[in-house]
Structure 1
Amino acid sequence: MAGAPDEQGRGPLAGEQLGQQDVTCQVFPEQLAVRKPQQGFFPVLTNNQKCQLMLLKTLETNPYVKLLLDAMKHSGCAVNKERHFSCEDCNGNVSGGFDASACQIVLCQNNIRNQTHMNRVVTHELIHAFDHCRAHVDWFTSVRHLACSEVRAANLSGDCSLVNEIFRLHFGLKQHYQTCVRDRAILSILAVRNISKEVAQKAVDEVFESCFNDHEPFGRIPHNKTYARYSHKDFQNRDRYYSNI
């Protein structure tokens, strides 16, 4: 659910816009016509093949994603790669989105640039999927519900990491991290709701404190992969503790 300029799509959540206002998730855009693979002396991977390979690596190695997959399974929403992920061409500059009606994450194979980008998009979308699994989220009509999940996704996915903010040329302000989370949540809402910026800001402000401090399933803000690995170990130990009670 973070936002790009308004796109027509299949789901309630938003995606990532490339460029200076890089936003992580997007309502599913309309699919484009399938492109023919390039011909050459050496075999060239299609966008779909590249997407599938990057997705597999993300699911198997990224600590943020491994924790979210365990948490989804623990909550009764086990994720299956073939069922719950789809690599597709997308209109516009969006990178992916969570389709709540189909319980599926779409990855925009023509816009995801590299493995790091894939890691971040999958993490962001899985946070939305986790929220969908554990709570009765009204994606379609409640701006507050959407705002809460957008705040959590921006906070817990690494969207506002120092490295990403430096690349955006945003840094050095007091409470900059919180400002980044708030701004990206607002951009996301505006990408998928025909409302004024003032209404989006009001929704984010109303839920910000509680949703910013809701760190499930990480238990902390995972500022980097090391934090995410610690969070995953803590989650596994917590799971074992409760299973023995």
Structure 2
Amino acid sequence: MAESTDSERKPTPSAPAAAAQAQPDASFYNWSSFFSILSGQASQEDKQKYFLSRDLANEESDIKRVEKQRDWLFQNSPVIRFLRDEINKLGGDINPINVRCRRCTTAQGGGIDQDYGILICANHMRNQGHVEDTIAHEMVHAYDYLRFKVDRWNLRHQACTEIRASTLSGECRFTREFFTRGQWRFTQQLQECVRRRATLSLMARPSVKDDVHAARIVNEVWDSCFNDTRPFDEIYR
């Protein structure tokens, strides 16, 4: 959100049991709280209560909206259709049935598990373009798991697939960075975005000590992974 960080974690249920039992005060989801957040007057605790209340109130409509967008993309998106075909060639299949849309309580846009499939965090999706980028990101991971036998516990492997997913999904194209994330660089914009997002994703892993450790691992595999555009002939978007 802030921009959601995509990661290779096992998808979690829409909300832990404890969160489901402790329903937030619905009074936090109102215009007063919204403007307090906009003006910078809300505390971090109040922000969390507001966003949780909003996500709970909109859970059903968010999921239906993103499921409709997902289904349309599998029919009409060139990048999603191409990646699905390439994954099929390797003996896998990513389809609307195993791309599940749920409410997430963590700050991620999506995730993938080799047995479960892809999770899309419906409450974090801004629009159809964001859904497309997120599905494409996770599909690059799926391709890598099948094509390169990625070890989920090997940090260099994980850094490489994060670099490739951010490069090839389209989430780091100039317009996305410029209009959505307020990144104003004109030179090396793509590389800076990919490095930043790959480092953030790597930091979510328990065995990564800090941002310096994550950045070092990303740098170690950067040249070979950034320049590897398979299954595309070149960076598509």
One-letter amino acid of the structure 1 residue matched with residue 216 of structure 2: K
Render the CA deviation track for 1:203-227: whole Å, top value 9, x for unaligned. Answer: 111111001111011110012xxxx
Give the Cα separation in 2 of the matches to 1:160 and 1:36: 30
1:214-229 equivalence runs, <5 A: 214-223=228-237
Shift of 1:78: 2.5
Match of 1:50 among 43, 65, 74: 65
Give the distance between the partners of 2:161 and 2:4, measured in 1 at CA.
18
Hey, what does 2:147 align to over in structure 1? 134
Deviation at 1:49, TM superposition (A): 1.8
Report the TM-score when normalising by structure 1. Answer: 0.73
Which residue pairs with 1:31 in the alignment? 14
**1:93 CA drift (Å):** 2.9
Which residue of structure 2 lines up, in the alignment, with residue 145 of structure 1? 157
Return the letter of the residue paired with 1:208: W
Q: Give 1:197's aligned residue.
A: 211
1:96–1:106 Cα contact (<8 Å) kept: yes
Q: 1:1-245 residue pairs with structure 2 within 5 A?
A: 18-19=1-2, 21-25=3-7, 27=9, 28-32=11-15, 33=20, 46-82=61-97, 84-100=98-114, 102-139=115-152, 141-167=153-179, 168-195=181-208, 196-223=210-237
What is the TM-score when the length of structure 2 is the normalising length? 0.75
Correspondence for 1:228: none
CA deviations over 1:100-132 (Å, ceiling 9, x no partner): 2x2400111222222111111101010111111
Greater RCO structure (CA 8 Å; 6+ sep): 1
The 8 Å contact of residues 25 and 124 in structure 1, kept in 2 or not, is answered as no
Tell me which amino acid in the other structure corresponds to 2:185: G
Instruction: Measure, in 1, the Cα distance between the counterparts of 2:154 and 2:231.
Output: 23
For 2:14, the aligned partner's letter is Q
The answer as to whether partners of 1:26 and 1:95 remain within 8 angstroms in 2 is no
Take 2:157 and 2:8, find their aligned partners in 1: how far apart are those partners?
16
Look up the SS of the partner of 1:46 in the other structure: helix
Q: Which runs of 4+ in 1 moved over 4 A?
A: 33-38
Question: Does the 8 A contact of 1:128 with 1:153 survive in 2?
Answer: yes
The CA deviation at 1:70 is 0.7
CA contact (8 A) 2:83 2:139 kept: yes
Letter in 1 for 2:172: C
Higher helix share: 2
Query: Against the structure 1 CA distance between its residues 191 and 36, is the aligned structure 2 distance closer, same or farther, given a 3 Å change threshold?
Result: closer
Amino acid at match of 2:74: L
Instruction: Measure how far apart 1:172 and its partner are.
Output: 2.7
- Measured after TM superposition, the shift of residue 180 of structure 1 is 1.6
Letter of the 1:60 partner, please give it: Q
Paired letter, 1:204: V
SS in 2 for 1:81: coil
CA distance in 2, matches of 1:46, 1:178: 36
Measure the CA separation in 1 of the matches of 2:159 and 2:206: 11
Tell me, which stretches of 5 or more residues in structure 1 are unaligned?
Answer: 1-17, 39-44, 224-245
1:135–1:103 Cα change, 3 Å? farther
Contact in 2 for aligned 1:103/1:129 (Cα 8 Å): no
Mapped partners of 1:80, 1:170: distance in 2: 33
2:39 alignment partner in structure 1: none
Give the superposition deviation at 1:96.
1.1
For structure 2, list consecutive stretches of 5 or more residues without a partner in the other structure: 22-54
